[in-house]
Amino acid sequence: MTGSYPSTTPEFLSRDGFSLPRPFGLQLRDQLNYFTHAVRFLTTPEFVAGLAAPDWLGAVDRKVRMREAGLEREKVRCESVGDHRGIDFCNGVLQHLSDDDWFHRSRGFVEVVADVTRYTRANLPEDADFAAELFAHILVELLLDAELISRLPEKLARYYQLLEGVNPSEVQGWISRVSRHPTDRLNWFVPLFVRERFLQDYPDDDRLAVRLQQIWQRIRLGSFQKAPVLKIVPWARSLVTERLLDLLPPDQFSIPPGSN
C-alpha cells in the first residue's frame, strides 16, 4: 500500500498499529516515545528500565526481542530466588508491550499519523525520496513525548534520576534470559542514554529536527529533507497538542498532574 493511509477500522490494522509494506513494517519496531511510556510509572529504577528496554534494543540490538511468555517465566525464576528488581524489570517490559498494543491500534494515533503524513507529502518536492508515512509515525511519537515533557518537566527530571540507578549488567542478564539472543550492548548504551538526555531536546523545533535527522540516518530510508521538516514540525506539534486526549484517551491513559 503506497500513497494512501489505511482505514482506521481494526480489520485494517496490523499488530504494530497499521498495515505498511516493507521496509516500513520492519522499521516500526523503532518506537521512540520513552517518556510517554514512563510518565505514569516513576516508581523504581528497574521498572522504568523495563519500560525503556524494548526501545533501547530497537536502537542498538534489533535481533533481541522480549515476549510475554518469556517475561512471565523470568518473573517466576526471579520470585524463586528473591530477585525483586528482576520482577520489577519484567513488569515494566510487560507494561510497555501492553501500552504499545492499544496505542498503535487506536483511532486517534492512526488519524493523527494520517494527517501528518498528508501534510508531509504536501510540503515535499514531488521527486523527494522520503518515506513520509514512516516519518509521520516517528514524529507523532516524539511530539507526544514533547507535549508531556512540556507539561511535566519535573517528571522528566525524576525519570532520569531513576535511570541513573539502573545497573546495565543486571538489565542485560534479565533480557538475555528472556530472549533467544543475548545482548551485550546495554552496558555502553544505557549510560550514554542517561548522559545525553536527548528527550530534553524534543520541546524545541530546531533541536527536535536534529534528532529526527539522526534517527533518519540510522534507519537509512531516503534522504532527509531538512527544510520541509522545519516547516512540518511546528504544524504537527500543534496537531498533537490539539488531539492529545485522542492520542491518550483517559480510559487508557491517565495523564499525571503537574506541579504548576
Domain boundaries, the chain: 10-247
- Average of per-residue pLDDT across 3-26: 32
Distance, first Cα to last Cα, the chain = 45
Asked if residues 223 and 166 have their Cβ atoms less than 8 Å apart, the reply is no
> pLDDT exceeding 70 applies to what percent of the chain?
85
Alpha-carbon span 224 to 216, nearest angstrom: 7
Q: Which residues pair with 130 in a beta bridge?
A: 222
Angular region, 87: left φ>0, alpha ψ -120 to 50, beta rest: alpha
In 3D space, the residue among 40, 234, 28 whose CA is nearest the CA of residue 148 turns out to be 40
- Note the pTM of the prediction, 2 decimals: 0.84
pLDDT of residue 125: 77
Range of lowest pLDDT (46-50, 103-107, 172-176, 200-204): 103-107
Residue with cell 532527509: 224
Residue 30 has a pLDDT of: 45
pLDDT confidence tier of residue 225, bands split at 50, 70 and 90: confident
What DSSP assignment string belongs to 179-209? Answer: SSS----HHHHHHHHHHH-GGGGTTSHHHHH
Predicted confidence (pLDDT) at residue 177 exceeds the cutoff of 80? yes
- Residues contacting residue 198 through CB under 8 Å, at least 6 positions apart: 211
Please tell me which residue, 229 or 14, carries the higher pLDDT value: 229
Q: Is 199's pLDDT higher than 50? A: yes
Any bridge partners for residue 222, and if so which? 130
Asked whether 28 and 17 are in contact (CB, 8 A), the reply is yes
* Least-confidence region, from 14-23, 157-166, 184-193, 225-234: 14-23
Residue 221: per-residue pLDDT:
64
Backbone torsion region of residue 197, taken as left when φ is above 0, otherwise alpha when ψ lies between -120 and 50, otherwise beta: left
Within 8 A by CB and 6+ apart from 83, the residues are 77
| Residue 160 pLDDT > 50 | yes
Give the rounded percent of residues in the chain with a pLDDT score beyond 90.
70
Q: Which three cell numbers stand for residue 96?
A: 510497555
pLDDT at site 168? 97
Contact 184, 157 (CB under 8 A): no
Mean pLDDT across the stretch 199-210? 95
* pLDDT tens per residue, range 101-135: 999 889 999 999 999 999 999 998 776 667 888 88
Count, in order, helices (H) and strands (E) of the chain: 13, 0
pLDDT at 257 over 70: yes
- What pLDDT is attached to residue 14? 33
Report, as an integer, the average pLDDT of 53-68. Answer: 92
d(CA 113, CA 24): 14
What is the pLDDT, as a whole number, of residue 222? 67
